Structure formats: structure tokens, C-alpha cells
Amino acid sequence: MGGLAGSLGTSVVSGIMARRSNRRNQANVAAGLSSFQPSGFSSGGLTGQFQDNQFNIANTGLAQGLTQQGSAATNQRIGDLQGFAGQLDPLMGAVTQAGVQSLRNTSRRTIGNLSQQLQRRRVLGSSFAQDAINRAQAEFGQREAELQSQMALQSLQAQAQLTDQANQARIQDVQSQIAQMNFESGLAAQLSGQATSALNANAQLNAQLQANLGQQETDLYGSVFGAGLTGLGRSLGGTTQATVGGLGSLARGI
């Protein structure tokens, strides 16, 4: 019976130690899965950190500085265009005035020459002469009006072009910022989705490990007590066989 107790004790102790080892390993794995945290990142212009089940993206100082420089350059360009537009009216006015003055000088010379020619022909005071002078004056008046209209139209076109360029600069600046925000939002959504998938996979693995641990403990108890009972059966079987043999020898002696 001493051997039986020793065999049974050895089986139980071995089983308990194996059970404890399995539990420690399982606990270490479970702790690692539970404490898993998706890592963040830091690049030249962006940083990312996983917090509250989502990735938070932020601009670094370098990116913010470049964005501010871009906006400052855009504002400078718009300011320059507005400055040109402000100078355009006086400039076009001066050009128009110079053109009108040139036409008037030409008109005076032309009409003066015409009057001298009519005077030499001794028809200066006639209706024919006056009609010729009136036609020349009307022609130069029309050319002056056309020049002023043309210069006004060119001024409006130049103003429209400068305004359009300023608006395009504003639009490009806004579009650039929107594109950057869309990129950051898309990146954050992608990283958050990947992190969520990793966390879900870890949770499933942890649940599977817990289930496996419970099954292992059940199997362990069965193997420990099975081995003990087997040893007990063998020991009891040997004892019974010895007892029966001894009784047979005793009967033969009688």
C-alpha cells in the first residue's frame, strides 16, 4: 500500500505542476493579448496615436509651418494682384487720355490743313467747305469715342483677369487644405479599421485560449485521477493475487 500511495501522490503532484505551468503560460498569453495596443507613428508631417478605439492624426510643427507658408504666399499673391488692379484704372486712364490727346492734335492739324486748302481755293466760307470740315471733325470725334470705348473695355478685361487670378489663388489654397484633410481623414479611418480588426482578432484568440484552458484542466483532472485509479487497481490486483496464492498453499498444507 505504501507503493500505491507513492504512485498516486506522484501522479497527482505531476498533474498539479503541469496544471500550474499551463495556467501561467495561459495567463501570460492572455495578459499580452489584453494589453495589446496598436502602435502610433511619427513622420515628417504627421503623427498618429491610437486612443479611444480610433486613430487620431495630427500635423507636426513642420507640416503646420509649411501650410502657413503656403497660405502666406497665396495671400501675398492675392495682395499683389489687388495692388495691380488698384493701379490699373489710373494707368488705363492715363493711356486713354494720351490717346485722346494725340487724336485731337491730329484732328486740329488735319482740319487746319483742310481749311488752308479750301481757303486757297477760295471756297472756305461755302457750304461745301463747311461740310468737308464737319465731316473731318465727326470722323475724328468717332475715332476718339472708339478709342475711349476700346480702352474702357481693355480695362474691364484686365480687371476681370486679375480678379479671376486672385479667386483661383484662393480656391487652390482651400482645395489644397481640403485635400490634406481628406488624406488625413482617410488615413485615420484606414488605420482605425486595421487596429479594430487586430483587436477583434486578439479578442477571439483570447476567448479560444480560455476555452482551451478549461478543456485542458478537464483533461488534466481526468488523466491525474485516471492514472491514480489505474495504479490503485494494479496495486489492489497484485495484493489480491498474493492473498489467493497464499490461501492455496495453506490448503495444500492442510
* Distance between start and end Cα atoms, the chain: 30
pTM, to two decimals: 0.51
pLDDT of 234 reads 55
Whether the CB-CB separation of 205 and 33 falls below 8 Å is answered with yes
| pLDDT tens track for 47-72 | 777 777 777 777 777 667 777 788 88
State how far the Cα of 175 lies from the Cα of 167, in Å rounded to an integer. Answer: 12
Average pLDDT over residues 163-187: 83
117 vs 27 pLDDT, higher one: 117
**b/e for 219-231, b at 16 or more Cβ within 10 A?**
eeeeebeebbeeb
pLDDT recorded at residue 175: 84
β-strand pairing of 41-42 with 54-59? unpaired
Specify burial of residue 100 (Cβ count, 10 A radius: 0-12, 13-18, 19+): middle
pLDDT at 135: 92
Overall size of the chain counted in residues: 254
